[in-house]
């Protein structure tokens, strides 16, 4: 099967350089469907979601973002790495590329960004998929991963690391997955990661959910420890229209653990079976 990858590019939006990868394009049946913006997690540059972009590109005009401070997007010690800034990036990215109708698929940190975008109700946003987003926040239990796990691996990657060194951090991943993460992890700015991790505990994700007005799917990892049964019930109370899907055989990194299960869990929520 031929690749759906079109190109990588930069756009100036929300006052910064935002880098993205584009898959599929807006021709053929894709022209009849909403575009999709994929927002990765806390230490996942866009390229690490390329395998998902390839598959999405068969059905949708797909854009995989480098969140500020990751990959090839802008990073500096003067940059605002708050959730508010990250959400504004996404809305302004869609506007800069003149995406008239688009859906958001956000994983982990990206899910929290997507929820904050949806809360603001930008024109053109049609639906949201929250893929195992952290439910930590003020007065709530901590996010299960610890900050040193991220920082130690980033520092090793900055010095140069291979797949065996990376395996110590991600023991269940394939060699190909480890190789790609080892290659790109050094592009995650430590300041951005610290700010986002702290935001997991200070930003109120649940308040954002109260104000989401577009169709929303919550995808839960069956073998993960980020979202528990009582969290699902609370989210259903806050957002009664939420559509719940589960990937029983996946941990938090759902597409890495069970790629087929990830696509199956989406069903036709985005406008096409994937």
The 10s digit of each residue's pLDDT in 126-148 is: 999 999 999 999 999 999 999 99
d(CA 234, CA 238) in angstroms, rounded, equals 6
> Is-contact 171 191, C-beta < 8 A?
no
pTM of the complete model: 0.98
> Is-contact 66 72, C-beta < 8 A?
yes
- Residue 213: helix, strand or coil by DSSP? coil
Give pLDDT, residue 234.
98
Average pLDDT, the chain: 97
Task: Scan for tokens 């990206």, then name that residue.
Answer: 110
Percent composition of the chain: helix, strand, coil (DSSP 3-state, to 5): 40, 20, 40
Note whether residue 52 is domain-resident: yes
Give pLDDT, residue 113.
99
d(CA 124, CA 205) in angstroms, rounded, equals 22
Summarize pLDDT for 222-255 with one digit per residue, the tens: 999 999 999 999 999 999 999 999 999 999 999 9
* DSSP class per residue in 129-162: EEES-----TTSPPPSS-HHHHHHHHHHHHH---
Give pLDDT, residue 128.
98
Give pLDDT, residue 179.
98
Note whether residue 159 is domain-resident: no
Domain count, the chain: 1
Give pLDDT, residue 4.
98
Give pLDDT, residue 116.
98
Note whether residue 167 is domain-resident: no
Note whether residue 176 is domain-resident: no
CA-to-CA dists, residue 158 to 89, 147, 194, angstroms = 26, 17, 16
Phi-psi region of 122 (alpha: psi -120 to 50; beta: other; left: phi over 0): beta
Low-confidence ranges of the chain (pLDDT < 70): 1
Note whether residue 257 is domain-resident: yes
Range(s) of the domain holding residue 76: 5-141+203-266
Note whether residue 197 is domain-resident: no
Note whether residue 147 is domain-resident: no
CATH code where residue 56 lies: 3.40.50.1820
Smallest CA-to-CA distance from 61 within 99, 93, 90, 92 is with 99
Note whether residue 38 is domain-resident: yes
d(CA 256, CA 253) in angstroms, rounded, equals 6
């Amino acid at each position: 099967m031929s690749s759906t990858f079109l190109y990588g590019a930069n756009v100036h939006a929300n006052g910064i350089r935002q880098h993205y990868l584009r898959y599929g394009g807006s021709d053929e049946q894709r022209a009849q469907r909403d575009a999709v913006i994929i927002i990765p997690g806390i230490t996942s540059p866009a390229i690490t979601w390329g395998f998902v972009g390839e598959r999405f590109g068969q059905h949708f005009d797909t854009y995989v973002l480098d969140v500020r401070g990751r990959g090839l997007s802008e990073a500096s010690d003067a940059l605002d790495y708050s959730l508010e800034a990250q959400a504004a990036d996404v809305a302004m990215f869609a506007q800069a590329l003149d995406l008239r109708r688009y859906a958001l698929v956000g994983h982990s940190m990206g899910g929290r960004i997507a929820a904050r975008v949806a809360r603001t109700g930008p024109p053109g946003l049609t639906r949201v998929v929250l893929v195992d987003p952290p439910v930590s926040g003020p007065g709530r239990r901590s996010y299960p991963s610890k900050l040193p796990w991220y920082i130690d691996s980033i520092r090793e990657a900055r010095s140069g690391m291979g797949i065996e060194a990376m395996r110590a951090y991600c023991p269940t991943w394939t060699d190909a997955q480890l190789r790609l993460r080892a290659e790109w992890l050094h592009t995650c700015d430590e300041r951005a990661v610290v700010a986002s991790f702290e935001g997991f505990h200070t930003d109120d994700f649940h308040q954002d959910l109260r104000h989401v007005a577009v169709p929303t799917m919550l995808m839960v990892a069956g073998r993960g420890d980020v979202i528990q049964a009582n969290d699902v019930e609370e989210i259903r109370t806050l957002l009664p229209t939420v559509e719940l899907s589960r990937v029983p055989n996946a941990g938090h990194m759902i597409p890495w653990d069970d790629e087929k299960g990830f696509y199956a869990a989406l069903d036709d929520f985005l406008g096409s079976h994937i």
